Chains A and B, each alone.
Chain A
Amino acid sequence: MAPPVLHAGTGTGTRAVGKEVTIASSVDHNLLETTACVSSRGLSYKGSAWLRQRLVLSALSKRPVRIWGIREGAESPGILEYEASLLRLLEKVTNGTRIEINSTGTHLSVCPGSLDGGVVEHTCPTGRSLGYWLEFLLCLAPFCRRPLRATLRGVTNGTDSPSADLIKATVRPALAAFGLDEGFDIQVLARGVLPKGGGEVTFTCPVRRSLRPVKLTEPGKVAKVRGTAFGVRVSPQMSNRVILAARGVLCSFLPDVYVTSDHRKGKAAGGSPGFGMALVAVTTEGYVLGAELTSDPVNPGTPEDLGKRCAHHLLDEISRGGCVDSATQGLTILLAAMGLRDVSKVLTGPLTDHSVALLRHLRDFFSLTFHLEEQKATEDDMRCGDDKVILTCVGVGFTNLSKPIR
């Protein structure tokens, strides 16, 4: 008897390759049979941690991802409102994405489609600040078919994620290094703070076929400090008091400190009162380190205290140093990894948890390993704060497959 003739590409059985497990269980059988995931093997994770990274990398690598055991046994099991909102946003910016969530919300499987972009409007729940979704879009936008024009509504200044102001100030120089600055813009149309939100941010980003490699190794020295202090539904004097306190700290290091005041009224001030400040330190080489602080919705404290603490945060960030600050580390690592097959080099401060997780995820999804070198601060007799890390990688040679040519 002749052996049964098999069609090509019948390699989808359950198989353990290294530590990745192919998704071909009874649960996901339909997913594999019916859609586009022919050959790319899926990844499986347990737990809700770093959901954004996993979704981003899944959408970029086009590998299906399965996340299970999300808050199993917790008081409120399954995905939370902001995570569900994230999935909806992913559906909006992509074409052909299939998301399956079980009835309890503890099991999630995503089979990514192609990145589409275009005009997107999204209302974010007030559980988290807008930065959560904005950072997610930042990772995907350069690889879309059309330039992304997103309008996000929700809490613009929160405590859990960087605000739109800070992202705009710190991300732009990082994107410029990758050739993405033209057409990049973030505008805060309305400011909204916790608990009611009501802010609005527009975000536009250009698309590229491929990203060029970068060499960000000379951070230079901090030459000036700029910033914005805002107050919504509070006395206009609040922001000035914040500025004064911050200047008091920073002027002992540097005379060139200018902080503008941004006071909003009416619709542009959202639904709740609050004040805060975002500060950036610009180096002689044009790199930017940023820090921010927003008043607590329950116990706002005095503006002087906030200004001082914010300045201290900035000093912290300067102490960590590097060419990108801690909040932008992840994006820089991702874009360097998504570059052409050339060497990229980035000097950063100590790696954050987010960056560490991203590095590991990059290895899972793209088999890409960074070379990490620690640069001791004590090597030359300079007082330059913490130890630095030099990240070296060879890009995966990623090209934007969805961008059409004419």
Chain B
Amino acid sequence: METDAKKAHRKRLSGPKAEKKRQKHDSSVAGNKSGGKKAGTASAINRNPKAFAVNSAVRLRKEFHRAADVSLRRERLPVVDRAPPVPPPVIVVLAGPPHVGKTTLLRGLVRNYTRQRLAELHGPITVVAGKQRRVTLIECKNDLGCMIDLAKVADLILLLVDANYGLEMETFEFLNICQTHGMPRVMTVLTHLDLLRAGSQLKKARRTISRRLWGEGPSSVGKVFHISGLLSGEYLYRDVHNLARFISVMKFHSPTLQLSSPHLLADRLEDLTDPEKVRQNPWCDRRLCLYGYLRGAPMRPNSQVHIPGLGDLSVASVGPLPDPCPAPGSASGGRRRLGESQRLLYAPFGGQGGLLYDRDAVYLDLGGSHSHEEPVPGFDLVSSLRASQTTLDSKIAAGHMTLFSESQPFVPGSFQNSEEEKEQEAEFVVKGKDVNDLERDEENENYVNLEVIGADETSSEADEPLGEVEEAASDEEEAASTEGEATSEEEEATSEEEEVASEEEEEEVDLNAVDSKVEQEVRMQRKRISKGKDEEVNENKNIVDNNIEEEDDFDWEQDRMGDELEEAKDMTRETEGALNWKSGLAEKAAAVFSRAGVSLQRRIYGEGCAEEVDDGIEELGGMFLLNRMKAEVKDHLDSTLLRRTEREWDQEDVRDSIRDCFVTGQWAPEEDANTLLAQDGNMYGDFEDLETRQVHSGKDSSMEASQSENKEEDMDQECEGEEAKNGGGVKVEKDRKTARLERKKMLKEAFNRAYDGGSASFLEELKAESERQTELNRSELSLLPNAVRTEVLGVEPGAYVRVEFSSVPLEFLAHFQPSYPIVIGGVAAGEGQLGFIQVRIKQHRWIRGVLKCKDPVTVSLGWRRFQSLPVYHSEGHDGRKRMLKYTPPHTHCLAALWGPITAQSSGIVFLKCLSNETHAFRIAATGVVLESDHSASIVKKLKLVGSPFKIFKKTAFIKGMFSSALEATRCEGVGVRTVSGIRGVIKRALRPPHPPGSVRATFEDRVQLSDLVFVRAWASVPLPQHCIPVPSLLLPEEDRASWQGVRPTSVLRKEHGLKTPHNPDSMYKPIVRVPRFLPPIHVPRSLQKSLPFSSKPKFTAPKQITPRNLVRPAVIREPHERKVFELLHALRTMRNEKKRKQKTEKSTEVVKRAAEKGLKKSNKEIKGGARGYHGSTMKRGGGGSRGGGRKGNRWRGKTRT
């Protein structure tokens, strides 16, 4: 039969027609099920519910768990958003092997962002990349130290790959470092694509590289960019532009290290060392400033920082500066594009932004740097005096003094006047005294205070047994006076012109020796300073504020008085001498009083200092020393309990003062139950009984309830009556219905809210809490004034800050390289200490060989890079840490190393060497910190073996286990074991007649003399305490990569041509087993008797060895035969004796002859004899081991060990 070749109809599987059919089918199925009722669409579960029924509860549980796991894995732990209002610039690192095009790309990006071509590209370059975005671009040199430092601060890494050459080892090393220290975002950029033939070769190269990088993990590739070629030495505009656009809109997440500690990438450096000091000692430590954008967390003053490559430093001062490269912000205009003037560039290391660093000189743009110059205290006055041409008395003669701007000036000759004038003057003087004296007093007070502080400190310094006391003291004094100067200047800077004038007057009063010319000069200078100060105020705000507070040493009462008087003084200035300054004093006092919050803070923090004196010695009138020690000691009883001020609680008015602290007292209106009830009644009180159609209205008090009900009814009836009257009953009914519906809806919503709120998941609660905290942080901090905010919070991230260090090794400046990154990382409390860090590491799969215990490795941990000697170990199930001689391949192991204590779960990288010369993979292992402590115990197994020398029943004396009685005493009570498995315990060390170190031990069974007894113990391994920070910033550039620190022993041996020393005891030797003969078991006769028959030894005849037929029968001789035999026997004996004698004679003759001939022959004979003896021993040994029974077993046990 011929098959039909026609093509079968293919049903539509998609499209509108198929959809329609499916719908039809579904509905028909559903319709059948639901009894002909035409439902719309029915899902598969409706159509075939059995197929979806629960088949296996276990499987269902598993599925459910998996689904829950998957959904939860998507969630992130909510964190409190502590991001600053103005974020710092994003750090973009260009990394890759040499000659891959990093500099070219950097130049292209800078040109793209700023339209500028830079000649030198050194250090971080900050550019404006968008309205809200600034970008710091930095090139990563092909140096492992650079890579590590930059991987820790980068937000985005552009991983450049030469597509023509392929991937190189550095790329993978860099990726590994990044992964361990918290993965920043990575984008791969393929360059040198123009060297490949377009088409399949290009495609293949791209694909291979992408796939290989994907193998390292999806986060390590990001997006792959292609840079197609070069045009006159630069990358094509379009390629770079795309990349730049991508960077400027990208979102970032910061790793933990970055978020948890303040850090900055320094982009400017300034040496502030006193030239005189340098002249005296050219190798002295330098005082310098580093600048950069603060990131991560706020930085508090006096904090500790670590600069990788330099070491731990303490910050002398830190303060925000005006932003040198601000983002324009959204408020700058409606346009999306950046204007040309907004495309800023800031790169001081690269010769942009005011400073240019040369190899041996620094060129400054004077406008920028002088604003931060520190004023020399008292310099202005001295310089003005120096500049003056006339002498002091002539100045006095020429000078005049004015108290108020309108008043008549006093001139030297004006004191002889008429009486009226005198009176007038007196009035003026009094008035003047009123004001000026106060001012002067205040000044004096300040001055005195300062002096006192200085003196105190000098004395305290002198008491201390510190070196260089004098220098320190003078420094302190200088600092104090500087503070004073700064304060007064700060006041001036904020004051107005009038105030300046009035202070001029003060100047006149105080130093009336200064003539008007000097005055002029002073004024000019002061103005200049105040101008300059305006800028510096920001910078030093926090310091200056502190100073202000520190000056307010006097107590609260005085403080308040001072404030009041100051207010009064201001008034005087305004009204210029009139008496109405007294008006409104009370209000002013009240205003002062209301500022008590500030003053409380001052009271607390004003006088605090580390040099506290409690056993105070007070000076009375400058003459007598009052020793108030006893009283002081009693006062300072260290207790949290109060010395109470007993109030008269028996009195009614005193009791009334706390009446409202109790629930029985009066409540605030917003909390008061009655008020709230009244409000509630208005809102929800009315309700209508739907059945009886009775409307109830809530009243605030239950007392009126019954009355109100009645009233309501009346009202209702009235209403109804009215309705009936109006004839609009329908309308009213409608209103009621809607009201009712609304009420129901409200109730339902309230119920839903309560229901949902009650079942909020754990994660949602966390989220809500973190949001609440974020909100609280923002609101609280925004309420604080700027100065207080800096004080409470520290310098906020996002600010451009200046960090000053008081002593930095000279080498840092001498070998400074702008292209080598300087990262300043904040160190938390306690992270500066050294201790043992326990880390879990895994040896990298690419490294050759294994890592040896106590071999030096360079470690990158936290911000630091240092060399240490890790001890590898593993942890047993009993928590005991056993040393490992080498790292195990393909698994994790633990390592303990001596180094700076670092937060748990920070990443750690082990590097075998830093050198660029090697071809091997340099990352030895990566891991994570588990814990750190000041001690660590790592052990190795120790087996002490001894042998019994005297045995009692179950007790034995054991020797050879310990070398001294002391050792033995230490091990009393320790469990021991014999080879055959008998357990025991060491009881006591034995006294001298016994060998030293011998012990008495008891066992669970009797031990044999031939047994070996051993103790299984653990010996703690001494851990090396070695930690050297890598000093890369202190070395010349050419030595940085080749720095080695401590070298491993193997390398040292190799260099010195030494052989590995061997302990002969540790050598493996052939085991010589001496055979043992066990005596036959001897059963005493008495015992034999009492044994049952089956166990009794049977005295049966020994087995016949010779066959029966060969056994000769016994012959009994006749007397004659016996005589014959005896005769024959005697004859035979005689013959034998004769023969023997002949033989011995012969042999002695032979020996004699041989001795005559030489020793050769006789030697041979002796050797042959020895061999024969040895052979017989071996043979006998073999026989002995075949012994049976219990003893045989024991013997085998011994051979096994």
Contact = CB atoms under 8 A, between A and B. Distances in A.
A215 B297 CA distance: 22
A162 to B, nearest CB: 6
A105 to B, nearest CB: 14
Contacts of A104: none
B838 interface: yes
Contacts, number: 371
A359 B600 contact: no
Given A44-B464, A51-B638, A62-B830, A394 B792 contact: yes
B665 A221 contact: yes
A62 B832 contact: yes
Nearest to B827: A39
Contact of B640 (A7, A213, A326): A326
Nearest to A389: B600
Given A221-B667, A401-B830, A372 B615 contact: no
Contacts of A49: 612, 614, 636, 638
Contact of A48 (B611, B636, B807): B636
B87 interface: no
A144 to B, nearest CB: 11
A132 interface: yes
B829 A21 contact: no
B275 interface: no
B615 A373 contact: no
A7 B1031 contact: yes
Contact of B780 (A343, A397, A401): A343
Name the interface size band of chain A.
35 or more
Contacts of B829: 40, 60-63, 366, 396, 398
A16 B302 CA distance: 12
A368 interface: yes
Contacts of B828: 397-399, 401
Interface string B781-825: 100100010011110000000000011111100100000000000
Given A14-B467, A352-B642, A359-B604, A342 B666 contact: no
Contacts of A145: 931, 933
Contact of B806 (A17, A61, A403): A17
A25 B638 contact: no
A318 B1029 contact: no
Contacts of A142: none
Contacts of B297: 341, 397
Contacts of A132: 638-639
B609 interface: yes
A14 B833 contact: no
B260 interface: yes
Contact of B468 (A3, A14, A221, A311): A14
B934 A113 contact: yes
A374 interface: yes
A354 B640 contact: yes
B298 interface: yes
Contacts of B834: 35-36, 38
A93 interface: no
A44 B829 CA distance: 18
Contacts of A72: 615
B640 A402 contact: no
A301 interface: no
A175 interface: no
A359 B605 contact: yes
Interface stretch (A185-193, A195-203, A246-254, A260-268): A246-254
A47 B661 contact: no
A345 B807 contact: no
A62 B807 CA distance: 22
Interface string A346-376: 0000011010100110011011111111101
B1006 interface: no
A330 interface: yes
Interface in B235-283: 260, 282-283
A328 B640 CA distance: 8
A38 B610 contact: no
Contacts of A351: 604
B788 A19 contact: no
Contacts of A160: 637, 639, 641
Contact of B904 (A68, A215, A253, A404): A404
A371 B904 contact: no
B314 interface: yes
B304 A312 contact: no
A74 B615 CA distance: 9
A21 B611 CA distance: 9
Given A9-B311, A46-B615, A406-B930, A341 B636 contact: no
B1102 interface: no
A291 to B, nearest CB: 9
Secondary structure of the A contact surface, majority rule: loop
Given A5-B1034, A62-B829, A404-B930, A15 B661 contact: no
B476 interface: yes
A221 B1031 CA distance: 62
Contacts of B663: 221-223, 254, 284
A5 to B, nearest CB: 7
Interface stretch (B652-660, B841-849, B1183-1191): B652-660
A397 B662 contact: no
Interface in A127-174: 131-132, 135, 145, 160-162
A321 B475 CA distance: 46
A371 B601 contact: yes
Interface in A102-131: 113-114, 116, 131
A26 to B, nearest CB: 6
Contacts of A316: 644-647, 649
Nearest to A95: B934
B760 interface: no
B935 interface: yes
Contacts of A299: none
Interface string A56-77: 0000111100001101111000
A209 B476 CA distance: 40
B464 A68 contact: yes
Nearest to B810: A3
Contacts of A15: 472, 806-807
Contacts of B655: 252-253, 315
A383 B476 contact: no
Contact of B777 (A13, A131, A343, A376): A343
B659 A25 contact: no
A392 B792 CA distance: 8
A326 B655 CA distance: 20
B18 interface: no
Contacts of B101: none
A300 interface: no
B298 A341 contact: yes
A404 B814 CA distance: 42
A272 interface: no
B338 interface: no
A405 B373 CA distance: 49
A325 to B, nearest CB: 10
B611 A19 contact: yes
Nearest to B627: A73
A37 interface: yes
15 contacts: A3-B282, A8-B309, A8-B1034, A21-B610, A38-B833, A71-B629, A96-B933, A114-B934, A311-B649, A318-B658, A343-B781, A354-B638, A396-B829, A398-B829, A399-B828
Interface of A: 3-11, 13-21, 24-27, 35-41, 43-53, 60-63, 68-69, 71-74, 95-96, 113-114, 116, 131-132, 135, 145, 160-162, 209, 213, 215, 221-223, 249, 252-255, 284, 311-313, 315-316, 318-319, 321, 326-330, 340-343, 345, 351-352, 354, 356, 359-360, 363-364, 366-374, 376, 380, 382-385, 389, 392-394, 396-399, 401-406
Given A315-B655, A359-B604, 7 more contacts: A6-B809, A284-B663, A312-B646, A341-B298, A363-B605, A364-B609, A404-B904
Query: Lowest 6 CB-CB distances: which A-B pairs, in order?
Result: A96-B934, A8-B311, A39-B312, A9-B311, A404-B931, A39-B832
